[in-house]
Amino acid sequence: MMSAMFLLFSLTVCLYLTRLEAYTRTDIFLPTDYHSDYHSSEDIGDVSGFSIDSLDAYYQGYTHQDGRPYTIRQDLLLSRLAYIKAPPGFRGEIEGVTVRELCREIERALENPDADASGLFGRNRQELLDIVSGIGEDSQIGALIVRGYIDDASGLAGYVLENNGELTIALRGTDDGVDMLDNAILLPFNLSVQYASVRRLLAAYGGARRIWLTGHSKGGHNAIYAASIDPRCRATGFNAPGFGVFLSDAQHDGLSNGVNYVVNGDVTGFLLFHLERRAVLESPSATPAESPSLRNRHKLDNFFSVDDLMVSSSIHPLGIWSEWITQIIWLSLVFLAGYGIIVLLKKVCCGVIFIFAKILDISKQKY
Q: What is the pLDDT of residues 167-192, one digit of tens each?
A: 999 999 987 767 777 776 666 666 78
- Count of CB atoms within 10 A of residue 97's CB? 14
What is the pTM assigned to this prediction? Answer: 0.79
Whether the Cβ atoms of residue 156 and residue 169 lie closer than 8 Å to each other: no
Of the two residues 284 and 127, the one the predictor is more confident about is: 127
Max CA-CA distance within the chain? 96
Q: pLDDT (tens digit, 9 = 90+) per residue, 128-167?
A: 888 898 898 899 999 999 988 998 888 899 999 998 888 9
Cα 163 from Cα 141, distance rounded (Å): 10
Which residues make Cβ contacts (< 8 Å) with residue 2, sequence separation at least 6? Answer: none
- Contact indicator for 267, 238 with CB cutoff of 8 Å: no
Residue pair 60/212 in contact (Cβ under 8 Å)? The answer is no
Higher-confidence residue: 357 or 224?
A: 224
Looking at the domain that runs over 32-102+134-328, which CATH code has it been given? 3.40.50
Count Cβ neighbours within 10 Å for each residue of 58-93 and write b for 16 or more, e otherwise: bbbebbebeebebbbbbbbbbbbbbbbbbeeebeee
Pairing of strands 233-238, 258-263: parallel
Q: Which residues pair with 278 in a beta bridge?
A: 260
User: Which among 11-15, 242-246, 327-331, 345-349 has the top mean pLDDT?
Assistant: 345-349
Domain boundaries, the chain: 32-102+134-328
Length of the chain: 367
